[in-house]
């Protein structure tokens, strides 16, 4: 313990504490930086009519994926999708991607081509393209990094740090399915309908970002804050609360648990609610809005994109996230979300 | 051999062939893309007064560095410097960086902080700042990726693909010292003056990008093409020639070999000319200009920045790069530059 205190290791303090330490070291105000470290995207002012927004996210072999389970094409789509999701959560439009690969020499060229085919197709769906990057040798594992640039009108920029007390917390689509899909990759013997199985595997291996929904929400003028679900509902809601200086109460009865999720959790002997609340990697959007706007937003989003959304909670003045369970009891949310150092594949 | 032809591996075709294959797969014309894959930077039009330029470069443990030899602070500076050098070669000004780290859990937090201190200081020297990034777990090696965004006026943008037949090929400073420094990290027992040793180690571990020189050259209106020396003089000149549809002849008598380089090569039993021509990682600038402008440029660069530059060759109509040796004989340059798959640390 003495040693931990004097020379802590990365694995001991965890991802979020490390980010806080790094952010504290860097200058807070720099030329052209509207918003630096601490949100889904960096927001930059390059003197154009729109803000430039930038994000980067990676896929590391043995941490985020195993090559036996995901195809190169799916991996490429996934890498593109998780970055597009960050731009979507900021209310922006993706434009240009740079891809950096560290690749073992014994990987087939065809694998790399499939990877780019996947990335290229997912980027094209989002109106973006790959414009550059870097290739490097790597001894063993494959490490993929993608930096995505997008544009957003200053009036439509969505941040996680602007939730207001009393706001409704709304979630698009359904959560927990990616976690269920992960379970199926680990335990392919689990008995499930093939349609449910395919749906869950697809949610996990080939997630689809909520890009048009993010744009509509940002342009509605009704949304006060937005984030995408990468770490998990509770973990991401904690990000919103901590950076907004607020708290939140989740009413679990508002959470939509899909039949496929419930079927997989039953087969795996797991709690579907736990998967839904802290599974992560669903890439749904979670946003806040005044209670009186909830119905209008639900109607607009469904009519224009076919996607449902539901209120899962409320922003409170106090800190932290608490859960109201089905029996009416309350607990403080201490469930861990997806922590890239602490847990994961 | 049959297998190689049907399913080639990444290590068999090499970095540059792989980049060509990838570039051929991606759409050549996309919205806002002035220049995509194939130069030091991607050039993007975000409707602002200046072009946005973007580059990314990485440092992989066991490939680009070993932790026993470089400090975390030096590694941070190095990662920042090699990216700043790409912006410098485009004639641009660095602005915003995103950093993606894949880190083993047993690395000390202090190491990561030192890394960011190094990156932050090098970025601050260049007028840029770190605005975001990503952290991920990694099983063994450390993988560092940096994406750097900069700005350049459309009239001052420098590319590698615009060299003209008859142009002089000019090189700033001295080359080969980084390669000599690499040798010293591998063979610390080599006998050298401590001042020479320190200089060479510093060139290798903590390279300084030629940022103010790049800006001056771009704004002079006299330079036809520019690149930075990362792969090696011959390799990088081949990049210029191939993308410009030209050839070049290097007159080795124009190459400045520093006393420290010569001392180290002598001690190591190596050819200093070989190190100078294909060592790589010197991060000097190589540019082309009309012969009549050479003296003016040399004078301007020296008076304003204290940096000398010398003519090392001429652009020719035909393809390939040839060398004219001290005895007047000519050879076709087949020496390999720094290939991230084929060679390196």
DSSP track, A122-169: HHHHTT-EEEEEEEEE-SSS-EEEEEEEEEE-GGG---STT--TTPEE
Q: Are residue A57 and residue A127 in the same domain, yes or no?
A: yes
- Chain B environment of A7 (Cβ under 8 Å): 108-110
The verdict on a CB contact (< 8 Å) between B149 and A44 is: yes
The verdict on a CB contact (< 8 Å) between A135 and B103 is: no
Closest Cα in chain B, distance from residue A266 (Å): 30
Residue B239 inside a domain? The answer is yes
Please say if the pLDDT value at position B131 is more than 50.
yes
In our burial notation (b when 16+ CB lie closer than 10 A, e otherwise), range A8-27 reads bbbbbbbbbebeeebeeebe
Q: Are residue B144 and residue B188 in the same domain, yes or no?
A: no
Tokens representing residue B14 in the block: 């090499």
The verdict on a CB contact (< 8 Å) between A27 and B120 is: yes
Tokens representing residue B101 in the block: 């780290």
The verdict on a CB contact (< 8 Å) between B341 and A98 is: no
CATH number at residue A242: 3.90.650.10
Q: Are residue A73 and residue A122 in the same domain, yes or no?
A: yes
Please report which confidence band the pLDDT of residue B5 belongs to, taking 50, 70 and 90 as the band edges.
low
CA neighbor of A121 nearest in space, from A156, A165, A71: A71
Instruction: Write the pLDDT tens digit of every residue in A189-241.
Output: 999 999 999 999 999 999 999 999 999 999 999 999 999 999 999 999 999 99
| Distance in angstroms (rounded) separating the CA atoms of residues B19 and B38 | 8
CA neighbor of A255 nearest in space, from A170, A178, A166: A170
- For residue A240, CA distances in Å to A246, A313, B86, B125 come to 8, 13, 37, 34
| Ordered strands of the A51-60 beta sheet | A33-35, A42-44, A51-60, A143-152, A93-103, A129-137
Q: Are residue A320 and residue A176 in the same domain, yes or no?
A: yes
Helix (H, G, I), strand (E, B) or coil at B284: coil
| Distance in angstroms (rounded) separating the CA atoms of residues A107 and B107 | 28
Per DSSP, the residues of A260-291 read HHHHHHHHHT--HHHHHHH------EEEEE-G
The verdict on a CB contact (< 8 Å) between A136 and B340 is: yes
Residue A255 · residue A277 · CB < 8 Å: yes
Q: Kindly identify which residue of chain B lies nearest to residue A121, measuring between CA atoms.
A: B26
Cα A307 off chain centre by: 17
Phi then psi for residue B216, to 5 deg, are: -60, -45
- Chain B environment of A62 (Cβ under 8 Å): 139
| Distance in angstroms (rounded) separating the CA atoms of residues A202 and A309 | 20
The verdict on a CB contact (< 8 Å) between A60 and B117 is: no
Q: Are residue B195 and residue B95 in the same domain, yes or no?
A: no
The verdict on a CB contact (< 8 Å) between B9 and A107 is: yes
Residue B4 inside a domain? The answer is no
Closest Cα in chain A, distance from residue B16 (Å): 9
**Residue B195 neighbours by CB distance under 10 Å:** 9
Q: Are residue B240 and residue B285 in the same domain, yes or no?
A: yes
| Distance in angstroms (rounded) separating the CA atoms of residues A321 and A250 | 7
- Chain B environment of A24 (Cβ under 8 Å): none
Instruction: Write the pLDDT tens digit of every residue in B139-148.
Output: 889 999 999 9
- Chain B environment of A16 (Cβ under 8 Å): none
The verdict on a CB contact (< 8 Å) between A21 and B113 is: yes
| Distance in angstroms (rounded) separating the CA atoms of residues A70 and A101 | 17
Tokens representing residue B72 in the block: 């975390």
Residue in B41, B46, B120 nearest the CB of A48: B46
Residue A146 inside a domain? The answer is yes
Residue A124 · residue A79 · CB < 8 Å: no
Closest Cα in chain A, distance from residue B327 (Å): 38
Closest Cα in chain A, distance from residue B287 (Å): 22
| Distance in angstroms (rounded) separating the CA atoms of residues B344 and B140 | 20
CA neighbor of B48 nearest in space, from A132, A129, A51, A128: A51
**Which of B10, B50, B281 should we substitute to test contact with A (largest number of A Cβ atoms within 10 Å)?**
B10
- For residue A40, CA distances in Å to A83, A227, A230, A286, B14 come to 9, 7, 10, 12, 35
Tokens representing residue B274 in the block: 């070989």
Out of A90, A124, A156, a domain closes at A156
Closest Cα in chain B, distance from residue A152 (Å): 11
Name B20's Cβ contacts closer than 8 Å, sequence gap at least 6. none
Out of A156, A190, A217, a domain closes at A156
Closest Cα in chain B, distance from residue A231 (Å): 13
Closest Cα in chain B, distance from residue A229 (Å): 16
The verdict on a CB contact (< 8 Å) between B106 and A15 is: no
Residue in A15, A55, A100 nearest the CB of B132: A55
Going by the DSSP 8-state scheme, the letter that residue A105 receives in this structure is T
Helix (H, G, I), strand (E, B) or coil at A302: helix
Name B334's Cβ contacts closer than 8 Å, sequence gap at least 6. none
| Distance in angstroms (rounded) separating the CA atoms of residues A131 and B54 | 9
Helix (H, G, I), strand (E, B) or coil at B69: coil
Res B72: pLDDT: 97
The verdict on a CB contact (< 8 Å) between B120 and A26 is: yes
Residue in A18, A54, A100 nearest the CB of B112: A18
CATH number at residue B99: 3.30.1330.10
- Chain B environment of A19 (Cβ under 8 Å): 135
Residue A196 inside a domain? The answer is yes
| Distance in angstroms (rounded) separating the CA atoms of residues B331 and B323 | 5
The verdict on a CB contact (< 8 Å) between A11 and B106 is: yes
Number of domains in chain A: 2
Residue with tokens 């780290």: B101
Dihedral in degrees, nearest 10, Cα atoms B50, B222, B273, B161: 50
Q: Kindly identify which residue of chain A lies nearest to residue B34, measuring between CA atoms.
A: A131
| Distance in angstroms (rounded) separating the CA atoms of residues B179 and A203 | 48
The verdict on a CB contact (< 8 Å) between B42 and A138 is: no
Tokens representing residue A239 in the block: 């990000």
Check if the interface score ipTM surpasses 0.90: yes
Q: Kindly identify which residue of chain B lies nearest to residue A130, measuring between CA atoms.
A: B26
Res B139: pLDDT: 85
Helix (H, G, I), strand (E, B) or coil at B92: coil
The verdict on a CB contact (< 8 Å) between A56 and B31 is: no
Out of B125, B156, B187, a domain closes at B156
Q: What is the pairing mode between strands A143-152 and B93-103?
A: unpaired
- Chain A environment of B151 (Cβ under 8 Å): 46
Q: Are residue B297 and residue B328 in the same domain, yes or no?
A: yes
**Which of A61, A83, A99, A109 should we substitute to test contact with B (largest number of B Cβ atoms within 10 Å)?**
A109
The verdict on a CB contact (< 8 Å) between B11 and A62 is: no
Residue B251 inside a domain? The answer is yes
Please return the burial class of B336, using the count of CB atoms within 10 Å of its CB with bins 0-12, 13-18 and 19+.
middle
The verdict on a CB contact (< 8 Å) between B134 and A116 is: no
Per DSSP, the residues of A166-234 read TPEEEEES--SHHHHHHHHHH-TTS---HHHHHHHHHHHHS----HHHHHHHHHHT-EEEEEE-SS-HH
Dihedral in degrees, nearest 10, Cα atoms A168, A57, A205, A161: 0
Residue B152 inside a domain? The answer is yes
CB pairs under 8 A between A and B: 276
Domain holding B39, by residue range, is 31-156
3-state SS, A33-73, equals: EEECECECCEEECCCCCCEEEEEEEEEEECCCECCCCCCHH
Q: Are residue A226 and residue A127 in the same domain, yes or no?
A: no
> Which ranges of chain A have pLDDT less than 50?
1-4, 335, 337-345
Q: Are residue B319 and residue B202 in the same domain, yes or no?
A: yes
Res B320: pLDDT: 87
Q: Are residue A85 and residue A189 in the same domain, yes or no?
A: no
Residue B26 inside a domain? The answer is no
Q: Kindly identify which residue of chain B lies nearest to residue A39, measuring between CA atoms.
A: B132
Residue B181 · residue B203 · CB < 8 Å: yes
Q: Are residue B186 and residue B88 in the same domain, yes or no?
A: no
Res A16: pLDDT: 82
Closest Cα in chain A, distance from residue B325 (Å): 33
**Which of A11, A24, A46 should we substitute to test contact with B (largest number of B Cβ atoms within 10 Å)?**
A46
| Alpha-helix runs per DSSP H in chain B | 2-6, 10-13, 15-25, 72-89, 109-125, 177-186, 194-205, 211-220, 233-244, 259-268, 272-278, 294-305
Please return the burial class of A153, using the count of CB atoms within 10 Å of its CB with bins 0-12, 13-18 and 19+.
middle
- Chain A environment of B30 (Cβ under 8 Å): 96, 129, 131
Residue A24 inside a domain? The answer is no
Phi-psi region of B152 (alpha: psi -120 to 50; beta: other; left: phi over 0): beta
Residue A145 · residue B133 · CB < 8 Å: no
Residue in A8, A46, A132 nearest the CB of B48: A46
| Distance in angstroms (rounded) separating the CA atoms of residues A56 and B136 | 11
**Element spanning B312, H or E:** strand B309-316
Q: Kindly identify which residue of chain B lies nearest to residue A16, measuring between CA atoms.
A: B135
The verdict on a CB contact (< 8 Å) between A129 and B26 is: yes
Going by the DSSP 8-state scheme, the letter that residue B221 receives in this structure is T
Residue in B25, B42, B131 nearest the CB of A98: B42
| Distance in angstroms (rounded) separating the CA atoms of residues B326 and B151 | 42
Mean pLDDT of chain B: 91
Residue B285 · residue B226 · CB < 8 Å: yes
The verdict on a CB contact (< 8 Å) between A46 and B95 is: yes
Q: Are residue B143 and residue B272 in the same domain, yes or no?
A: no
Residue in A25, A37, A109 nearest the CB of B18: A109
Rg, chain B, Cα only? 20
The verdict on a CB contact (< 8 Å) between A58 and B136 is: yes
| Distance in angstroms (rounded) separating the CA atoms of residues A190 and A186 | 9
Res B334: pLDDT: 58
């Amino acid at each position: 313990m003495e040693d931990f205190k004097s020379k802590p290791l990365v694995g001991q303090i965890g991802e979020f504490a490390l980010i806080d330490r790094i952010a504290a070291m860097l200058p807070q105000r720099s030329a052209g930086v509207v918003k630096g470290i601490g949100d889904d995207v960096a927001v930059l002012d390059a003197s154009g009519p729109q803000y430039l927004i930038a994000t980067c996210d990676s896929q590391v072999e043995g941490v985020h994926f195993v090559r036996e389970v995901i195809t190169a094409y799916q991996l490429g789509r996934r890498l593109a999708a998780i970055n597009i999701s960050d731009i979507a959560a900021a209310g922006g439009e993706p434009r240009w991607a740079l891809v950096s690969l560290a690749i073992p020499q014994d990987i087939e060229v065809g694998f790399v081509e499939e990877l780019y085919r996947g990335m290229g197709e997912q980027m094209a769906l989002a109106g973006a393209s790959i414009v550059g990057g870097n290739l490097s040798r790597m001894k063993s594992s494959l490490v993929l990094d993608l930096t995505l640039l997008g544009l957003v009108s200053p009036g439509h920029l969505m941040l996680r740090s602007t939730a207001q007390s009393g706001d409704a917390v709304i979630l698009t689509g359904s959560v927990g399915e990616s976690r269920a899909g992960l379970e199926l990759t680990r335990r392919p013997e689990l008995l499930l309908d093939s349609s449910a199985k395919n749906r869950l595997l697809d949610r996990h291996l080939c997630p689809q970002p909520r890009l048009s929904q993010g744009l509509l929400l940002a342009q509605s003028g009704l949304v006060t804050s937005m984030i995408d679900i990468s770490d998990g509902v509770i973990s991401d809601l904690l990000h919103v609360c901590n950076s907004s200086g607020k708290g939140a109460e989740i009413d679990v009865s508002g959470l939509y648990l899909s039949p496929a999720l419930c079927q997989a959790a039953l087969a795996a002997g797991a709690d579907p609610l736990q998967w839904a609340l802290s599974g992560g990697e669903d890439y749904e959007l979670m946003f806040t809005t005044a209670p009186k706007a909830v119905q209008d937003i639900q109607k607009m989003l469904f009519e224009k994109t076919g996607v449902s959304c539901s209120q899962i909670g409320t922003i409170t003045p106090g800190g932290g996230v608490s859960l109201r369970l089905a029996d009416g009891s309350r607990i403080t949310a201490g469930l861990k979300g997806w922590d890239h150092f602490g847990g994961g594949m």
